[in-house]
Amino acid sequence: MSGELSLFKGNLPDYLKNRGLSATTKSLMGSAQNKRISIRGGVFRMMVGGQETAKSEDRSMQVVVVSAAEHVSRTYYAGTYEEGEQAPPACWSADGMRPDSSIKAPQSSTCANCPQNVSGSGQGNSRACRFSRRLAVVLANDMNGDVFQLVLPSTSIFGKAEGGRMPLESYVKYLAAHGVNVEDVVTEMRFDIDSATPKLFFSPVRALEKPEHDICSLKAQTTEAKNAITMSVAQTDGVVAKASLKLEKPKAATKEEAEEEAVEEPVVKKAPKKEEAPAKLASDLVKEWDDE
């Protein structure tokens, strides 16, 4: 017992401290629920198994991004949203190019040719299939704590920076221009109070100290972080399909999706082709003949 008390009083060797719980330990503990941060209603909400466990009244939150999905993902819901009801997406893509292997009835073999990727397939002139980006974050005031999934809608990803108001891509480019990685700083997420739908801007707060950086680097290797950047929101929340889902004109099937505005992913423009010399006019050709 004395050895046990010594162990639990923080007398672990340095190489075992701040390691986090391993996949083996969690497996033997039984099933664990993944956690995420929702921005529904313009409020930061802590979600566990699809249930809200806490929320913040602050307009900003400081986090450390420990990992991110490699690609922008896409999500398509085929049912009408009903208050209080959740449904999994009818189709979604982790890489934004082709449906996830878990989808039994994909809308198309590729996202580029999908009918849900056409303007007007969603509400108004929007596209029914929405862009999003999955991040794994830890709270800046509790880096030793839980890893949360944060799924950002397109409005929080794309767009130009306006002063210090930067969407995610602009923010990361800003850091990179100064030789800084996003994982090496405390990032502030702040709601855009001028937006009718939940929208975040990002800004750097400070660089991580060496012990903090070590902790966050280890967090990036955890099962929670890997789940955060690979699982859809429905998978994270444990949402299952219901037979009562109404298959009408595609609308959002979650409260968060219902609030989002669709923003198109920026298209990388190709360099314009070199203009060819204009063909000679017939009158010019006639003149040339007359001069011969």
Q: What is the DSSP string of the chain?
A: -HHHHHHHTT---GGGTT----HHHHHHH-----EEEE-GGGSEEEEETTEEEEEE--SEEEEEEEEE-SS-EEEE--S---TT-----SEEESSSSS--TT-SS-S-SSSTT-GGGSTTSSSTTS-SEEEEEEEEEEETT-TTS--EEEEEEHHHHSS--BTTBB-HHHHHHHHHHTT--GGGEEEEEEE-TT-SS--EEEEEEEEPPHHHHHHHHHHTTSHHHHHHHHS-HHHHHT----TT----S---SSHHHHHPPP-PPPPPPPPPPPPPPPPPPHHHHHHHHHH-
Q: 16 versus 110: which is more confidently predicted?
A: 110
Is the full-model pTM beyond 0.85?
no
* pLDDT value at residue 146: 93
Which residues, in sequence order, are CB contacts of 182 under 8 Å at separation 6+? 65, 68, 171, 172, 175
Amino acid identity, position 44: F
Domain spans in the chain, listed from the N-terminal domain onward? 24-266
What does residue 258 show for φ and ψ, rounded to 5 degrees? -65, -30
| Residue range 68-109, pLDDT digits in tens | 999 999 988 876 656 556 677 889 888 889 988 888 889 999
Q: Which of 20-29, 191-200, 208-217, 248-257 has the lowest mean pLDDT?
A: 248-257
| Residue range 269-284, pLDDT digits in tens | 554 444 444 344 444 4
Cα 216 to Cα 60, 85, 123, 211, distances in angstroms = 21, 35, 40, 9
| Residue range 248-277, pLDDT digits in tens | 444 444 556 555 655 666 655 554 444 444
